[in-house]
Amino acid sequence: MTIDEDVHAISPYFEVRQTAWGGRACFSNGNIPKGTTVLKVANSTGISISYEFRKEVCHNCFAYDNARTMKYKLNYDCVKNLIPPDANCKINPKKFLGAGLWFCSEYCRSSYLQKPNIIELVECYELLLCHFPNMLKRYNTDIEQENKLNSISISESIIQSAWDEIESNWIPRIDHMKPTKKVSQLPAISEDEYCCIRFVCESLFNLKHMERQCITYRAFNMLQSNELSKISKFPVLLHFQKLVFQTLYILLPSHTGKMLTIPLLRHILGTEYGNAFGLWQEGEAAESREYFGYWVFPEASYFNHSCTPNVTKYRKGNIMLFNVNTDIKKNEQICIDYSGVLELPTVKRRKFLADSWFFDCACERCKSELQPVH
Ligand SMILES: [Zn+2]
Ligand SMILES: [Zn+2]
């Protein structure tokens, strides 16, 4: 059975199908020789660079130079010509902070700024950056509170009623306030929420400007959300998501704010769990490379996992490549490794997969390794 035409044609080499055992999988259209690139993706919907690397990683090519701060940041001169003359842009020329964007070279900085409408995203990042120190100052790690939030037992209806509360009480209350009063309602947040808020900003920005017919947009809409599994495991995330929403609702300028709805935020975050790819340092061995954060490529999210994958994924600058590492026959399932821990013993490896991606691996290798020894 072929699934929706929508994601059927992600690559000429394979087809996404609904499987008899549930879920979707990628199957080869013909024999594929070893070394073939079956998918190359450059259009991520959102990227999150963790706080500790925010100045050390280039925001265009993700270069990293041994924890050195990247040399090129944004200044007002770089962005002033991008501001449309009639725009009610909230970027303050005298106090421009650089939107938290750092680059390895002038080339990367100008490439980044060439993206159409990029000034909208720069404005969102800048507003967040201006308010963040104050929000962070009010944040205190309250272990007791966190334990309490983590002990709630989660169900679909608990998640729904938390959002209903926001929709029917919090939003109308905020909507009635004057702008200055609104800002005083910004919640206290930590570095983790800050990074997640940037990730959502970028996702909203990219989705806003994407052709509704393009494959990335359609693949994004069809991604499976792991909201319930993830929040059931970490109930504190429900509170975390509400803080992310509240901050965005108060801060976003209308061009991007009009994209923000509760269902879309839940889809962005629910599909990030389990579908995002790690953004790793390039060119280092798996054990010694740094983990910078994560990014989402909807077209690349239909590969299943196998502990003997026939496709290897790797990053080259800001693109991800998926290369066949063995000859593949027609109709064979194409799989990648999600875990990065294939060398772990069977039980540990399967536990890691179950904890992080919410499934019990049933690949050929797991099946054969789990067989009782006679
Ligand atoms: Zn760069
Ligand atoms: Zn397995």
- For ligand 1, an ion, list residues with CB under 5 A: 58, 60-61, 63, 104, 108
Task: Provide the pLDDT confidence category of residue 2 given band limits of 50, 70 and 90.
Answer: very low
pLDDT at 371 over 90: no
Q: What is the CATH number of the domain that holds 349?
A: 2.170.270.10
Q: Is 366 a residue whose pLDDT tops 70? A: yes
Q: Are 305 and 357 in contact (CB under 8 A)?
A: yes
pLDDT digits (tens, 9 = 90+) for 69-105: 999 999 999 999 999 888 788 899 999 999 999 999 9
Distance 232 CA to ligand 2 centre (A): 24
315, 326 Cβ separation under 8 angstroms = no
Same domain, yes or no, for 239 and 347? no
- C-alpha R_g of the chain: 22
Question: What element of type H or E holds 248?
Answer: helix 236-251
Q: Centre a 10 Å sphere on the Cβ of residue 145 and count the other Cβ atoms it contains.
A: 12
Q: SS3 of 21, please?
A: coil
User: Could you read off the pLDDT of 328-338 as tens digits, one per residue?
Assistant: 999 999 999 99
CA distance 349 to 236: 26
Cα distance between residue 332 and residue 28, in whole Å: 6
Q: How far is the CA of 10 from the centre of ligand 1 (A)?
A: 28
The whole-number pLDDT of residue 67 equals 95
Distance (angstroms) between ligand 1 centre and the Cα of 276 equals 22
Tell me: do 205 and 254 sit in the same domain.
yes
Q: Are residues 92 and 162 in the same domain?
A: yes
CA 301 to mean position of chain CA atoms: 12
Alpha helices in 63-214 (DSSP H): 76-79, 106-113, 118-137, 143-150, 156-165, 171-175, 179-183, 191-209
Does one domain contain both 15 and 66?
no
In terms of domains, do 313 and 206 share one? Answer: no
204/340 Cα distance (integer angstroms): 29
Range of the structural domain that residue 146 is part of: 46-275
In the chain, the largest separation of any two C-alpha atoms, in whole Å, equals 78
- Domain closes at, from 242, 275, 308: 275
Instruction: For the chain, give the percent of residues with pLDDT over 70.
Output: 97
* Shared-domain flag, residues 247 and 206: yes
**Co-location of 92 and 205 in the same domain:** yes
The whole-angstrom separation of Cα 354 and Cα 360 is 6
- 35 and 61 in a single domain? The answer is no
pLDDT in tens, 49-78: 999 999 999 999 999 999 999 999 999 999
Least confident of 7-11, 50-54, 159-163, 279-283: 7-11
189 CA to middle of ligand 2, Å? 38
**What pLDDT does residue 229 have?**
92
Which ligand neighbours the alpha carbon of 64 most closely?
1
Q: At 313, phi and psi to the nearest 5?
A: -105, 145
Residues 157 and 52 in one domain: yes
Ligand 1 centre to CA of 264 (Å) is 30
pLDDT mean over 178-198:
96
Element (H, E) at 245: helix 236-251
Domain end: 220, 243, 275, which one?
275
Instruction: Give the list of residues 6+ apart from residue 181 with CB closer than 8 angstroms, or none.
Output: none
Residue 50 counted as domain residue: yes
Q: What is the pLDDT of residue 6?
A: 65
**pLDDT tens per residue across span 296-322:** 999 999 999 999 999 999 999 999 999
Q: Is residue 67 part of a domain?
A: yes
Per-residue pLDDT tens digits for 119-178: 999 999 999 999 999 999 999 877 888 888 888 889 999 999 999 999 999 999 999 999
Span from the CA of 324 to the centroid of ligand 1 (angstroms):
28
Cα of 50 from ligand 1 centre, angstroms = 17
Q: What's 9's DSSP letter?
A: T
Indicate which ligand has the atom closest to the C-alpha of 344. 2
The answer, yes or no, to whether residue 184 has pLDDT greater than 70, is: yes
Q: Does some domain include residue 146?
A: yes
Stretch 17-24: mean pLDDT, rounded?
82
Q: What is the tally of structural domains in the chain?
A: 2
Are 306 and 213 found together in one domain? no
Instruction: Give pLDDT, residue 263.
Output: 98
Is 284 a member of any domain?
Answer: no
Q: Is the pLDDT of residue 373 over 70?
A: no
Residue 292 within any structural domain of the chain: no
Domain co-membership, 314 together with 334? yes
For residue range 209-263, what is the model confidence (pLDDT) as tens digits? 999 999 999 999 999 999 999 999 999 999 999 999 999 999 999 999 999 999 9
User: Of 275, 307, 340, which residue constitutes the final position of a domain?
Assistant: 275
Whether 366 maps to a domain, the answer reads: yes
Same domain? For 226 and 89 the reply is yes
- 74 is a domain residue: yes
Residue 4 has pLDDT above 70, yes or no: no
Is residue 358 in some structural domain? yes
Could you give the CA distance from residue 359 to residue 283 in angstroms, rounded to a whole number? 30
The distance in angstroms from the start CA to the end CA of the chain is 39
